Amino acid sequence: MTSVPSATVPAFAVIPGAQVSRALEGREKELVELVEAIYRLHGEGTTVNPPSYFLRFPDRPSARIIALPASIGGELRVDGIKWISSFPENVTAGMPRASAVLILNDHDTGYPFACLEASIISATRTAASAASAADWLSRGRPRPSRVGFVGTGLIARFVHTFLVGTGWSFDEVGVHDTSAESAAGFRGYLDRAGTPGRVTVHDTAEQVVRTSDLVVFATVAARPHVHDASWFAHAPVVLHVSLRDLAPEVLLAATNVVDDVDHCLKAETSPHLTEQRTGNRDFLAGTLADVMAGRVDVPADRPVVFSPFGLGVLDLAVGKFVYDEVARSGGLQVVDGFFSELRRHG
Protein backbone atom coordinates (compact mmCIF):
# COMPACT_ATOMS: atom_id res chain seq x y z
CA MET A 1 0.00 0.00 0.00
CA THR A 2 1.46 3.35 -1.05
CA SER A 3 1.65 5.89 1.76
CA VAL A 4 1.00 9.59 1.32
CA PRO A 5 2.58 11.10 4.45
CA SER A 6 2.06 14.69 3.32
CA ALA A 7 -1.64 14.23 2.58
CA THR A 8 -4.22 15.79 4.87
CA VAL A 9 -8.00 15.63 4.94
CA PRO A 10 -9.24 18.72 3.10
CA ALA A 11 -11.85 21.09 4.43
CA PHE A 12 -15.27 20.66 2.83
CA ALA A 13 -16.97 23.72 1.35
CA VAL A 14 -20.42 24.34 -0.08
CA ILE A 15 -20.70 26.90 -2.89
CA PRO A 16 -24.29 28.01 -3.62
CA GLY A 17 -25.58 29.28 -6.94
CA ALA A 18 -25.23 32.98 -6.13
CA GLN A 19 -21.50 32.56 -5.53
CA VAL A 20 -21.16 30.45 -8.66
CA SER A 21 -22.83 33.15 -10.75
CA ARG A 22 -20.62 35.90 -9.32
CA ALA A 23 -17.46 33.90 -10.01
CA LEU A 24 -18.45 33.31 -13.66
CA GLU A 25 -20.05 36.63 -14.58
CA GLY A 26 -18.28 38.47 -17.37
CA ARG A 27 -15.63 35.78 -17.79
CA GLU A 28 -16.84 34.40 -21.11
CA LYS A 29 -13.54 34.70 -22.97
CA GLU A 30 -11.58 33.04 -20.16
CA LEU A 31 -14.09 30.24 -19.91
CA VAL A 32 -14.09 29.53 -23.64
CA GLU A 33 -10.29 29.36 -23.51
CA LEU A 34 -10.55 26.99 -20.54
CA VAL A 35 -13.01 24.72 -22.35
CA GLU A 36 -10.79 24.66 -25.44
CA ALA A 37 -7.79 23.72 -23.29
CA ILE A 38 -9.76 20.84 -21.75
CA TYR A 39 -10.86 19.63 -25.19
CA ARG A 40 -7.20 19.53 -26.18
CA LEU A 41 -6.25 17.63 -22.99
CA HIS A 42 -9.08 15.21 -23.63
CA GLY A 43 -7.90 14.69 -27.19
CA GLU A 44 -4.40 13.97 -25.86
CA GLY A 45 -5.68 11.37 -23.38
CA THR A 46 -4.86 13.39 -20.24
CA THR A 47 -8.38 13.00 -18.88
CA VAL A 48 -10.63 10.19 -17.73
CA ASN A 49 -14.23 10.58 -18.88
CA PRO A 50 -16.26 7.36 -18.46
CA PRO A 51 -19.68 6.95 -20.03
CA SER A 52 -22.43 8.96 -18.37
CA TYR A 53 -24.94 6.93 -16.37
CA PHE A 54 -28.64 7.58 -16.99
CA LEU A 55 -31.08 6.98 -14.18
CA ARG A 56 -34.56 6.66 -15.69
CA PHE A 57 -37.96 6.11 -14.10
CA PRO A 58 -40.76 3.87 -15.39
CA ASP A 59 -43.37 6.11 -13.76
CA ARG A 60 -41.79 9.34 -15.12
CA PRO A 61 -40.63 8.51 -18.66
CA SER A 62 -39.76 12.10 -19.62
CA ALA A 63 -37.46 12.56 -16.62
CA ARG A 64 -33.89 11.44 -16.00
CA ILE A 65 -30.94 12.03 -13.70
CA ILE A 66 -27.45 11.69 -15.16
CA ALA A 67 -24.16 10.99 -13.40
CA LEU A 68 -21.03 12.32 -15.14
CA PRO A 69 -17.84 11.14 -13.38
CA ALA A 70 -14.55 12.53 -14.64
CA SER A 71 -10.90 13.22 -13.88
CA ILE A 72 -8.46 15.81 -15.24
CA GLY A 73 -4.72 15.36 -15.04
CA GLY A 74 -2.01 17.82 -15.96
CA GLU A 75 -1.76 20.95 -13.85
CA LEU A 76 -5.44 20.99 -12.89
CA ARG A 77 -5.41 17.61 -11.11
CA VAL A 78 -9.00 17.26 -9.97
CA ASP A 79 -11.56 14.45 -9.92
CA GLY A 80 -15.30 14.57 -9.38
CA ILE A 81 -18.83 13.97 -10.55
CA LYS A 82 -21.81 16.00 -11.74
CA TRP A 83 -25.27 14.75 -10.77
CA ILE A 84 -27.80 16.52 -12.98
CA SER A 85 -31.53 15.98 -13.29
CA SER A 86 -33.76 16.83 -16.22
CA PHE A 87 -37.46 16.99 -15.36
CA PRO A 88 -39.21 18.74 -18.28
CA GLU A 89 -42.52 18.83 -16.42
CA ASN A 90 -40.97 21.35 -14.01
CA VAL A 91 -41.39 24.04 -16.65
CA THR A 92 -45.19 23.91 -16.45
CA ALA A 93 -44.90 24.57 -12.72
CA GLY A 94 -42.70 27.62 -13.31
CA MET A 95 -39.48 25.87 -12.28
CA PRO A 96 -36.32 25.30 -14.33
CA ARG A 97 -36.14 21.94 -16.07
CA ALA A 98 -32.66 21.04 -14.80
CA SER A 99 -31.01 21.05 -11.39
CA ALA A 100 -27.55 19.81 -10.48
CA VAL A 101 -24.73 19.53 -8.00
CA LEU A 102 -21.03 19.03 -8.67
CA ILE A 103 -18.68 17.25 -6.26
CA LEU A 104 -14.96 17.99 -6.49
CA ASN A 105 -12.55 15.38 -5.11
CA ASP A 106 -8.97 15.92 -3.97
CA HIS A 107 -6.48 14.35 -6.40
CA ASP A 108 -4.19 12.90 -3.70
CA THR A 109 -6.64 11.63 -1.07
CA GLY A 110 -9.89 11.19 -2.97
CA TYR A 111 -11.72 13.17 -0.28
CA PRO A 112 -14.46 15.46 -1.61
CA PHE A 113 -13.56 19.05 -0.85
CA ALA A 114 -16.48 20.97 -2.37
CA CYS A 115 -20.11 20.69 -3.36
CA LEU A 116 -21.22 23.32 -5.88
CA GLU A 117 -24.60 24.24 -7.30
CA ALA A 118 -24.05 23.05 -10.83
CA SER A 119 -26.96 23.96 -13.09
CA ILE A 120 -25.14 27.24 -13.78
CA ILE A 121 -21.83 25.41 -14.22
CA SER A 122 -23.48 22.97 -16.63
CA ALA A 123 -25.08 25.77 -18.66
CA THR A 124 -21.77 27.65 -18.68
CA ARG A 125 -19.69 24.78 -19.99
CA THR A 126 -22.36 24.03 -22.60
CA ALA A 127 -22.44 27.64 -23.76
CA ALA A 128 -18.67 27.97 -23.76
CA SER A 129 -18.41 24.80 -25.82
CA ALA A 130 -21.02 26.13 -28.27
CA ALA A 131 -19.27 29.49 -28.60
CA SER A 132 -15.97 27.76 -29.26
CA ALA A 133 -17.55 25.55 -31.92
CA ALA A 134 -19.23 28.56 -33.56
CA ASP A 135 -15.82 30.18 -33.89
CA TRP A 136 -13.82 27.20 -35.12
CA LEU A 137 -16.47 25.86 -37.49
CA SER A 138 -17.02 29.29 -39.06
CA ARG A 139 -13.41 29.71 -40.09
CA GLY A 140 -12.97 29.46 -43.82
CA ARG A 141 -16.47 30.80 -44.54
CA PRO A 142 -18.14 34.22 -44.12
CA ARG A 143 -18.68 34.87 -40.43
CA PRO A 144 -22.38 34.34 -39.63
CA SER A 145 -24.35 37.55 -39.20
CA ARG A 146 -27.78 35.97 -38.67
CA VAL A 147 -28.32 33.71 -35.66
CA GLY A 148 -31.39 31.63 -34.92
CA PHE A 149 -32.50 29.90 -31.73
CA VAL A 150 -34.82 26.89 -31.79
CA GLY A 151 -35.69 26.39 -28.13
CA THR A 152 -35.48 29.39 -25.82
CA GLY A 153 -34.75 28.20 -22.30
CA LEU A 154 -31.80 28.69 -19.97
CA ILE A 155 -29.28 27.07 -22.32
CA ALA A 156 -30.28 29.32 -25.23
CA ARG A 157 -29.82 32.37 -23.00
CA PHE A 158 -26.37 31.21 -21.89
CA VAL A 159 -25.30 30.42 -25.46
CA HIS A 160 -26.33 33.90 -26.59
CA THR A 161 -24.51 35.46 -23.65
CA PHE A 162 -21.33 33.57 -24.50
CA LEU A 163 -21.53 34.42 -28.19
CA VAL A 164 -21.87 38.13 -27.39
CA GLY A 165 -19.26 37.89 -24.64
CA THR A 166 -16.71 36.48 -27.08
CA GLY A 167 -17.17 39.16 -29.71
CA TRP A 168 -20.07 38.02 -31.88
CA SER A 169 -22.52 40.58 -33.22
CA PHE A 170 -25.57 39.77 -35.32
CA ASP A 171 -27.68 41.79 -37.73
CA GLU A 172 -30.64 39.47 -37.21
CA VAL A 173 -31.75 37.17 -34.40
CA GLY A 174 -34.44 34.59 -35.10
CA VAL A 175 -36.39 32.91 -32.31
CA HIS A 176 -38.76 29.94 -32.19
CA ASP A 177 -40.18 27.88 -29.37
CA THR A 178 -43.22 25.63 -29.15
CA SER A 179 -44.14 27.73 -26.11
CA ALA A 180 -45.14 31.26 -27.11
CA GLU A 181 -44.55 32.34 -23.51
CA SER A 182 -40.98 31.05 -23.58
CA ALA A 183 -40.29 32.73 -26.93
CA ALA A 184 -41.63 36.01 -25.57
CA GLY A 185 -39.52 35.65 -22.44
CA PHE A 186 -36.39 35.05 -24.52
CA ARG A 187 -37.16 38.07 -26.65
CA GLY A 188 -37.49 40.09 -23.44
CA TYR A 189 -34.04 38.87 -22.40
CA LEU A 190 -32.63 39.93 -25.79
CA ASP A 191 -34.18 43.38 -25.40
CA ARG A 192 -32.76 43.79 -21.90
CA ALA A 193 -29.35 42.64 -23.13
CA GLY A 194 -29.37 45.44 -25.68
CA THR A 195 -29.22 43.15 -28.70
CA PRO A 196 -28.45 45.46 -31.64
CA GLY A 197 -29.83 43.27 -34.42
CA ARG A 198 -33.42 42.89 -35.51
CA VAL A 199 -35.21 40.25 -33.43
CA THR A 200 -37.93 38.16 -35.09
CA VAL A 201 -40.10 35.55 -33.38
CA HIS A 202 -40.92 32.90 -35.99
CA ASP A 203 -43.89 30.56 -36.10
CA THR A 204 -41.84 27.54 -37.13
CA ALA A 205 -38.38 26.06 -36.71
CA GLU A 206 -38.09 25.95 -40.50
CA GLN A 207 -38.34 29.74 -40.71
CA VAL A 208 -35.55 30.11 -38.15
CA VAL A 209 -33.25 27.65 -39.92
CA ARG A 210 -33.76 29.04 -43.42
CA THR A 211 -33.09 32.63 -42.31
CA SER A 212 -30.01 31.95 -40.14
CA ASP A 213 -26.32 31.41 -40.87
CA LEU A 214 -25.74 30.15 -37.31
CA VAL A 215 -28.47 27.95 -35.83
CA VAL A 216 -28.72 26.93 -32.17
CA PHE A 217 -30.93 23.98 -31.26
CA ALA A 218 -31.54 24.05 -27.50
CA THR A 219 -34.79 22.15 -27.02
CA VAL A 220 -36.01 19.32 -24.81
CA ALA A 221 -36.90 17.16 -27.83
CA ALA A 222 -36.68 13.44 -27.10
CA ARG A 223 -36.67 12.40 -30.77
CA PRO A 224 -35.93 14.04 -34.13
CA HIS A 225 -38.49 16.54 -35.38
CA VAL A 226 -36.46 18.09 -38.21
CA HIS A 227 -36.36 15.74 -41.22
CA ASP A 228 -35.97 17.96 -44.28
CA ALA A 229 -32.33 18.45 -45.22
CA SER A 230 -33.31 21.16 -47.72
CA TRP A 231 -33.84 23.57 -44.81
CA PHE A 232 -30.03 23.65 -44.54
CA ALA A 233 -29.26 24.11 -48.25
CA HIS A 234 -27.61 27.49 -47.52
CA ALA A 235 -24.88 25.67 -45.50
CA PRO A 236 -25.30 27.16 -42.02
CA VAL A 237 -23.26 26.32 -38.94
CA VAL A 238 -25.56 24.35 -36.62
CA LEU A 239 -24.96 24.07 -32.87
CA HIS A 240 -27.01 20.96 -32.13
CA VAL A 241 -26.77 21.39 -28.36
CA SER A 242 -29.92 19.42 -27.55
CA LEU A 243 -28.69 16.44 -29.58
CA ARG A 244 -32.02 14.89 -30.60
CA ASP A 245 -33.62 17.41 -32.96
CA LEU A 246 -32.17 16.35 -36.30
CA ALA A 247 -33.15 13.22 -38.22
CA PRO A 248 -30.43 11.05 -39.79
CA GLU A 249 -31.17 12.38 -43.27
CA VAL A 250 -30.18 15.86 -42.07
CA LEU A 251 -26.89 14.65 -40.60
CA LEU A 252 -26.09 12.59 -43.68
CA ALA A 253 -26.29 15.76 -45.80
CA ALA A 254 -23.92 17.66 -43.47
CA THR A 255 -20.38 17.70 -42.13
CA ASN A 256 -20.64 16.34 -38.59
CA VAL A 257 -18.40 17.26 -35.68
CA VAL A 258 -18.84 15.97 -32.11
CA ASP A 259 -17.08 16.49 -28.79
CA ASP A 260 -16.34 12.79 -28.23
CA VAL A 261 -17.29 10.07 -30.71
CA ASP A 262 -18.00 7.22 -28.30
CA HIS A 263 -19.92 9.41 -25.88
CA CYS A 264 -22.07 11.05 -28.52
CA LEU A 265 -23.09 7.89 -30.33
CA LYS A 266 -25.35 6.47 -27.63
CA ALA A 267 -28.59 7.19 -25.76
CA GLU A 268 -30.48 7.64 -29.05
CA THR A 269 -28.92 10.96 -29.92
CA SER A 270 -29.27 12.01 -33.54
CA PRO A 271 -25.72 10.78 -34.33
CA HIS A 272 -26.52 7.49 -32.59
CA LEU A 273 -29.67 7.06 -34.69
CA THR A 274 -27.64 7.85 -37.80
CA GLU A 275 -25.10 5.19 -36.89
CA GLN A 276 -27.91 2.70 -36.37
CA ARG A 277 -29.38 3.53 -39.77
CA THR A 278 -26.13 3.39 -41.72
CA GLY A 279 -24.33 0.71 -39.74
CA ASN A 280 -21.16 2.81 -39.60
CA ARG A 281 -19.63 6.07 -38.40
CA ASP A 282 -18.43 7.30 -41.76
CA PHE A 283 -20.74 10.32 -41.56
CA LEU A 284 -18.58 11.79 -38.76
CA ALA A 285 -15.75 14.12 -39.75
CA GLY A 286 -14.22 14.06 -36.26
CA THR A 287 -14.17 15.99 -33.01
CA LEU A 288 -13.87 19.67 -32.24
CA ALA A 289 -10.38 18.93 -30.89
CA ASP A 290 -9.55 17.48 -34.33
CA VAL A 291 -10.72 20.72 -35.94
CA MET A 292 -8.63 22.79 -33.52
CA ALA A 293 -5.55 20.69 -34.25
CA GLY A 294 -6.03 20.94 -38.02
CA ARG A 295 -6.72 17.23 -38.42
CA VAL A 296 -10.19 17.93 -39.85
CA ASP A 297 -11.09 20.53 -42.47
CA VAL A 298 -14.62 21.93 -42.49
CA PRO A 299 -15.92 22.64 -46.01
CA ALA A 300 -17.71 25.96 -46.47
CA ASP A 301 -20.17 24.72 -49.09
CA ARG A 302 -22.22 22.34 -46.94
CA PRO A 303 -23.89 22.60 -43.54
CA VAL A 304 -21.77 21.71 -40.53
CA VAL A 305 -23.43 20.29 -37.43
CA PHE A 306 -21.77 20.29 -34.01
CA SER A 307 -23.34 17.72 -31.68
CA PRO A 308 -21.80 17.91 -28.18
CA PHE A 309 -22.86 15.14 -25.82
CA GLY A 310 -21.37 17.11 -22.94
CA LEU A 311 -18.24 15.94 -21.13
CA GLY A 312 -17.88 15.71 -17.37
CA VAL A 313 -14.31 17.00 -17.66
CA LEU A 314 -15.72 20.36 -18.76
CA ASP A 315 -17.92 20.53 -15.66
CA LEU A 316 -14.91 19.70 -13.51
CA ALA A 317 -12.79 22.40 -15.11
CA VAL A 318 -15.45 25.10 -14.75
CA GLY A 319 -16.25 23.93 -11.21
CA LYS A 320 -12.59 24.13 -10.19
CA PHE A 321 -12.43 27.59 -11.77
CA VAL A 322 -15.35 28.66 -9.57
CA TYR A 323 -13.83 27.06 -6.46
CA ASP A 324 -10.51 28.83 -6.99
CA GLU A 325 -12.22 32.18 -7.58
CA VAL A 326 -14.36 31.88 -4.45
CA ALA A 327 -11.34 30.75 -2.40
CA ARG A 328 -9.28 33.72 -3.64
CA SER A 329 -12.06 36.08 -2.62
CA GLY A 330 -12.16 34.61 0.89
CA GLY A 331 -15.78 33.54 0.44
CA LEU A 332 -15.58 29.78 0.94
CA GLN A 333 -18.31 28.50 3.24
CA VAL A 334 -16.61 25.61 4.99
CA VAL A 335 -18.67 22.98 6.80
CA ASP A 336 -16.75 22.40 10.02
CA GLY A 337 -16.47 18.79 11.09
CA PHE A 338 -17.97 17.40 7.87
CA PHE A 339 -15.61 14.44 8.12
CA SER A 340 -15.77 13.10 11.68
CA GLU A 341 -14.41 9.53 11.65
CA LEU A 342 -10.77 10.27 10.91
CA ARG A 343 -9.08 7.65 13.11
CA ARG A 344 -9.11 4.12 11.78
CA HIS A 345 -9.44 2.51 15.19
CA GLY A 346 -11.14 5.25 17.14
pLDDT in tens, 189-226: 999 999 888 999 999 999 999 999 999 999 999 999 99
Considering the domain 131-307, what is its CATH architecture?
A: 3-Layer(aba) Sandwich (3.40)
- Which CATH architecture describes the domain 13-121+312-334? 2-Layer Sandwich (3.30)
Distance CA 301, CA 254 (A): 10
Res. 4: pLDDT tops 50: no
* Residue pLDDT, tens place only, 12-28: 999 999 999 999 999 99
pLDDT at residue 30 is higher than 50:
yes
* Mean pLDDT of all residues in 34-54: 95
Cβ-based neighbours of 71, under 8 Å, separated by 6 or more = 47, 48, 49, 78, 79, 80, 313, 316
Query: Is the pLDDT assigned to residue 302 strictly greater than 70?
Result: yes
What is the residue extent of each domain of the chain? 13-121+312-334, 131-307
- Judged by DSSP in three states, 144 sits in coil
Cβ-Cβ contacts under 8 Å for 139 (sequence gap 6 or more):
298
Beta-bridged to residue 253, according to DSSP, are: none
What does the DSSP 8-state code read for residue 143? P
User: In 3-state terms, what secondary structure has residue 28?
Assistant: helix
